[in-house]
Structure 1
Amino acid sequence: NSAPLVPALKSTWLVIHVVAAIISGGVFLLANVVAAAYLYLEKVESKGDRPAWLQRVPSLDVLDQLSYRLVAFVFPLWTFAVIAGAIWAESAWGRYWGWDPKETWAFITWVAYAAYLHARVTVGWRGRRAAWLCIFAGSTFLFNYVYVNVWGTGKHTYSGL
């Protein structure tokens, strides 16, 4: 038998926060896979023609645009996930933000993807530079998801597993 849930975990905002964060993370990671594919394909094409096994992979321009569109699509959802988490935290612990390592890295991830979108829209970054910036932003998400969850400290960690 398990104990009943503590009141802090019986919140609609918690469900919204977690679902939005999981969906956002999945799309961010997909954008990073596309950015990595861009970098790989660019390297292959710089050495000559594409091998037969890469013929079905879209062009560099398509990969570049796809990575950008995925991030642009999901960034508002990530923003909402962070805000929903803050609303839930206020009702659960009486504060919107506590600089917990997970909160801090969620903010760093938000800033990294905001910088990526800013570089694309205002500075005109495309191609290799944009792909590397997307991968950097994705690495902040992965660090938060893996390292902070498992080895970090705070309310969001699972280090007791």
Structure 2
Amino acid sequence: MKRGTTLFLKVAVILLGLPILALCIFFVPGMADYAAEIFTDFPLIEALVLIYVYGTAIPFYCALYQAYQLLTFIDKNKAFSDLSVKALRIIKRCAVLISILYVIFLPFIYIIAEADDAPGLILIGMFIVFASTVIAVFAAVLQRLLQEAINIKSENDLTV
């Protein structure tokens, strides 16, 4: 396969990471300050919000890196390998972790939305959970299909 066939997808993976990076740099500190203003009786809330949101960014970037690696494997004609299955497994686990963390975080988002009278925050949190769950299920299906294809290929190699 030509090296440039997955170039568009690699660029898309990189471009997916840029808005989240911008949010982490510019929006999250302000959100943590706002949470500290709302919850004045809880002094560690600002640090908790920063740790929690940045903690969810780590599996996101890990999954993006694995998607980039998967595209590299496709470029090198190693799409049907255990490395690809491993990359899909890591993507699935990262997506599940993001979903779990945001499900835990949703009550806190609800409290902030009630204080600010902004129901859109709850929808954003629910969208993140939904999107992560869809990605996890899709990666799980692809992982299983790829593993079955590898097993069939190895059986055919043994019979020939």
Range of TM-score over shorter length: 0.3 to 0.5
- Relative to its length, the structure with more helix (as a share) is 2
| Structure with larger RCO (C-alpha < 8 A, sep 6+) | 1
Q: TM-score, structure 1 length as denominator?
A: 0.36
